[in-house]
């Protein structure tokens, strides 16, 4: 506690503003856990950049922690590329303080003689990724905490290829940041180096999205699709309605109560389209308007939730693996029809996502590539394989990336692609739900399920750490009566074949992930989140069924089996 108090008292020095010093003094006077939580560590970069609770302290999002990040990046650019003229694009989402923090970041870059392109208002994260390449920037920053609770904010860094930071730049920049003292931050920016962007870049982005996400549906087909859309108080309201209008989807019902950007997210418990509750208002409107499809996005518009009508006409939320499979099938079908599959194309997914992605790719004669969780790794695959054409790819956490126009998951292009697919199917008398069942009948029924256990604070971090240690040191030999045949430990890059008692290396960067495989195709992965105080368990089982009408019952049975499996890992919902 003495070290924490020393760190807090440092924040009372002359460099810090009066408001910050007052809030730190209040934490010291209270002597509560809040002081420890605010200063016990430096906020670190995770899977999707840096995220944390807003407030004072080294473990919080504030002008000083973000200023230090930005100064470190500026120093790195000048040190590693001294002869280049650098520029950066900056965007922000709907969250409280995102606009002011974005301005702080812009000022620090400008104070370091780096040109800044700043969006005038909130914008989707994928638009920032697109803008980095479109504006020929060295890097990009977006202020967002994605779907985290209202008290959070965050800082994502994109490199010149439009993808998020990956090795070796990430470790090099983090080291540069850690070597900095707060007093070295230059906050007084040069206004002449800050350019406020106009709508030209927005329109270019929307045009590109339409180009890569629409195919053969007629204008009449698109008009006939009845869509219900909610932005969940986030940034997609700035792009999706314009995109729909320009593409010809005119029958769109927007949830007005959730259309106004608001970092407090007043109408939902969580602005996360993975959660069924987040789409309740949209589903109510969809039932009133007899909509075919319901779509919702998270606050920064990189994830999307999709709900469709089942065989009984009831609206059902699809999971991230299911939407990924539908979109990938549709893209592969279109590429094949256009004779664009030559053997040099690939689709991509992550190690914790559905195995059905690989099955689909192989059936269409397309290369399948797998990466760690997080779209920065999928973007890196594109950069690492310039001789291959990227078709599309996704991950189980409700994200998808169509083509390589954007080098991150993009709800905007995924929305348009899904609606194009739904419009074509509706014209043929089918639904997305029926098509999903057909895919399962053709390739096998893969049912996935995710459970996230929230473990907050220092004690929670220790609990998560111990859970992963226990799973490694005391591995299960059987799961639901099925013999475990393979254990992949990405922290050591080793895969242990328990049948042949052999070990082989894993050609993917190290990460704190452990995956069990059984003899019958069951897959269970355990992974601490890189951006949230959670440990996640991903389960996939492989079943089969023959008749369309048997699907609902088979799905219920599969989920019951998965819940039984989770109990063996000490996870109870």
Neighbours of 306 (CB within 10 A): 26
- Phi, psi (deg, nearest 5) at residue 308: -135, 170
- Phi, psi (deg, nearest 5) at residue 26: -65, -40
Chain centroid to Cα 104, Å, comes to 25
Q: Give the whole-angstrom CA distance, residue 74 versus residue 71.
A: 5
Cis-peptide, bond into residue 384, ω within 30° of zero:
no
Kindly give, in sequence order, each residue whose CB lies less than 8 Å from that of residue 36, ignoring residues fewer than 6 positions away: 1, 4, 458
Q: Give the whole-angstrom CA distance, residue 544 versus residue 554.
A: 8
Is residue 529 within 8 Å of residue 535, measured between CB atoms? Answer: yes
Q: Give the whole-angstrom CA distance, residue 355 versus residue 371.
A: 13
Is residue 413 within 8 Å of residue 390, measured between CB atoms? Answer: no
Q: Give the whole-angstrom CA distance, residue 200 versus residue 208.
A: 13
- Phi, psi (deg, nearest 5) at residue 276: -55, -35
Q: Give the whole-angstrom CA distance, residue 569 versus residue 537.
A: 9
How many residues appear in the chain? 573
Q: Give the whole-angstrom CA distance, residue 434 versus residue 36.
A: 53
Is residue 114 within 8 Å of residue 226, measured between CB atoms? Answer: no
Look at the alpha carbons of 265, 271, 277, 280 in this order and tell me if their dihedral is positive or negative: positive
Kindly give, in sequence order, each residue whose CB lies less than 8 Å from that of residue 182, ignoring residues fewer than 6 positions away: 15, 16, 64, 67, 68
Six-digit token string for 57:
């302290």
> Strand pairing partners for 89?
117, 140
Is residue 539 within 8 Å of residue 520, measured between CB atoms? Answer: no
Q: Catalytic residue at 546? A: no
In the 8-state DSSP scheme, what is residue 54?
B
Q: Give the whole-angstrom CA distance, residue 333 versus residue 364.
A: 8
Q: Give the whole-angstrom CA distance, residue 4 versus residue 24.
A: 12
Six-digit token string for 279:
């789409």
Give the angle 402-404-408 at the CA atoms, nearest 5°: 75
| Given the residues 146, 236, 291, 349, the one annotated as active site | 146
Q: Which residues are catalytic?
A: 146
């Amino acid at each position: 506690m003495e070290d924490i108090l020393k760190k807090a008292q440092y924040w009372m020095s002359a460099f810090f503003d009066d408001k910050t010093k007052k809030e730190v003094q209040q934490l010291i006077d209270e002597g509560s856990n809040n002081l420890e939580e605010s200063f016990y560590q430096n906020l670190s970069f995770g899977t999707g950049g840096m995220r944390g609770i807003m407030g004072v302290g080294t473990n919080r999002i504030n002008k000083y922690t973000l200023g230090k990040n930005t100064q470190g990046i500026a120093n790195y650019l000048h040190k590693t590329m001294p002869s280049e003229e650098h520029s950066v694009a900056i965007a922000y989402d709907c969250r409280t303080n995102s606009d002011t923090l974005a301005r702080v970041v812009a000022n620090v870059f400008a104070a370091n003689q780096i040109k800044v392109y700043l969006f005038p208002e909130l914008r989707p994260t994928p638009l920032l990724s697109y803008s980095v390449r479109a504006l020929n920037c060295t890097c990009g920053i977006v202020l967002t905490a994605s779907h985290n609770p209202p008290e959070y904010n965050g800082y994502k860094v994109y490199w010149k290829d439009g993808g998020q930071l990956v090795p070796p730049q990430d470790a090099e920049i983090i080291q540069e940041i850690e070597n900095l003292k707060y007093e070295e931050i230059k906050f007084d920016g040069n206004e002449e180096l800050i350019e406020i962007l106009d709508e030209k870049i927005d329109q270019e982005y929307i045009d590109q999205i339409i180009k890569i996400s629409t195919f053969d549906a007629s204008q009449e087909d698109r008009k006939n699709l009845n869509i219900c859309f909610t932005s969940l108080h986030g940034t997609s309201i700035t792009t999706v309605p314009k995109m729909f209008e320009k593409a010809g989807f005119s029958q769109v019902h927007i949830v007005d109560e959730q259309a106004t950007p608001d970092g407090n997210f007043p109408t939902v418990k969580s602005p996360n389209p993975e959660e069924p509750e987040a789409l309740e208002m949209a589903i109510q409107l969809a039932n009133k308007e007899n909509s075919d499809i319901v779509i919702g996005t998270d606050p920064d518009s990189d994830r999307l939730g999709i709900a469709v009508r089942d065989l009984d006409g009831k609206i059902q939320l699809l999971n991230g693996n299911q939407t990924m499979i539908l979109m990938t099938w549709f893209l592969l079908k279109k590429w094949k029809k256009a004779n664009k599959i030559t053997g040099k194309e690939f689709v991509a997914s992550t190690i914790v996502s559905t195995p059905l992605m690989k099955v689909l790719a192989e059936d269409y004669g397309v290369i399948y590539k797998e990466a760690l969780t997080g779209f920065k790794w999928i973007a890196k695959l594109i950069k690492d394989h310039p001789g291959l054409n990227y078709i599309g790819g996704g991950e189980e956490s409700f994200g998808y990336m169509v083509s390589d126009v954007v080098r991150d998951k993009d709800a905007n292009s995924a929305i348009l692609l899904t609606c194009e697919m739904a419009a074509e199917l509706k014209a043929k008398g089918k639904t997305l739900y029926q098509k999903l069942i057909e895919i399962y009948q053709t390739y096998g029924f893969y049912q996935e399920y995710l459970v996230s256990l929230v473990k907050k604070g220092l004690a929670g971090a220790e609990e998560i750490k111990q859970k992963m240690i226990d799973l490694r040191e005391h591995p299960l030999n059987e799961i639901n009566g099925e013999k475990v045949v393979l254990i992949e430990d990405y922290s050591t890059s080793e895969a242990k074949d328990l049948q042949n008692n052999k070990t082989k290396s894993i050609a993917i960067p190290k990460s704190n992930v452990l995956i069990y495989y059984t003899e019958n195709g069951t897959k269970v992965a355990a992974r601490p989140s890189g951006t949230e105080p959670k440990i996640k368990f991903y389960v996939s089982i492989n079943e089969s069924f023959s008749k369309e009408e048997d699907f609902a019952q088979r799905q219920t049975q599969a989920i019951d089996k998965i819940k039984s499996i989770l109990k063996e890992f000490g996870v109870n919902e």
